[in-house]
Structure 1
Amino acid sequence: MKLSSLKTITVFLVALIISSSSYSAGQEFNSATVDQLDEALKTEFSPCSPEKNQNKTEQDTTITSVILSSDIDLTEGEMIKSSGGGQAIVDSYDSKTKILKYHQTADTGFMLLSIGEIITDSNSTASIIIGIPKEKIVPCFERIVSIDEDAREMIYISLASLNDVLLKLQTLLDKQRDKATSSLALLQEKLIQEELAAF
């Protein structure tokens, strides 16, 4: 009886050690994978990548709306092109304020539409970008977490928010590991008491 209980405890401890090692290895793999994905996103799809002929303000922001010099007939979903080589899809256009709101996808690319560039619509009607609405500037330090060809807009989550989520997940995993350790200790104590009662 005593030998059987010790054998059971030994097998259980070995299984626990193996699962702990797997957990640690998995954490390292996930961390490395996340880092690689972050780098790929920043390299391939960053709207904040320096482009030629952009000033520092333009490099530090992602612009999703611009002010045009003249009124042109733009419709939602229409593809527009800029003289700088950028492309975008029209979300809306206000003829009173001459503010054009747009979004970009993987198909259009993420080249900024800059002040001074000429915007051309599908009918070859043109207008010049003369300004950027201040409230529409998104800080460039925000990370892109979703790029979807069918999305109406790009989604941003701040690095601080992402770190908060990861910290909460780590805390939850630590609590679960502590709970498992506590359960193991109770099981060991119960087995010892059963062995003592058997004598």
Structure 2
Amino acid sequence: MNEKLFQFIWQQLRFDQRNLATTNGEKVAILFQGTLNTNQGPDFLNARLRINETLWAGNVELHLKETDWKKHGHSTDEHYDNVILHVVMEADGKAAERTIPTVSLEGRISRSIIETHSRLGTIGDLLPCRQHLNDLDPEDFAMCNERMLLEKWNDKCLSIFENLKRCNYHFEEVLWRMVSANFGTPVNNSSFEAIAGSVP
């Protein structure tokens, strides 16, 4: 088990959620597991949970061991101040000075997920099944690639048409917003687009 696989399991909710509780015995219900964060800060952003009868909204941090919180320096990093849940594989001791609800998934993850992961390779690999590409019919493979390209192109076109409607079909305004958004890629594109929309 590595952290990438652990993140995948949390993101897909591929664990037994029945009677989920913190290490202190508080009941936990996952309303939304959060959005995977590929930048600095907690692993999942904007999660929504119910702990006992209280609704929480904030970030979730994952570690294989509870004590990794301190080892990774999160106790003194302000990026982790709004973490509402620490999800671990193994609860091996107190993680932080402040009380962060901690859930251990030990015994809640199916062995088959871990075994399948080891057969396919690491999560995040460009194409885990690449060794089977030579078994595919070249014509089928080309058709599949073409279909995916058309779907991607269609999504881009729909996005442009939606922008056109929002901008009353002012083409230069749409171009300005799209170019501005690309200056912020990949992290801040929506912020850059919003700034462009506020500038006449």
Q: Same fold (TM over 0.5)?
A: no
TM range (shorter): under 0.3
TM-score normalised to the size of structure 2?
A: 0.26
TM-score normalised to the size of structure 1?
A: 0.26
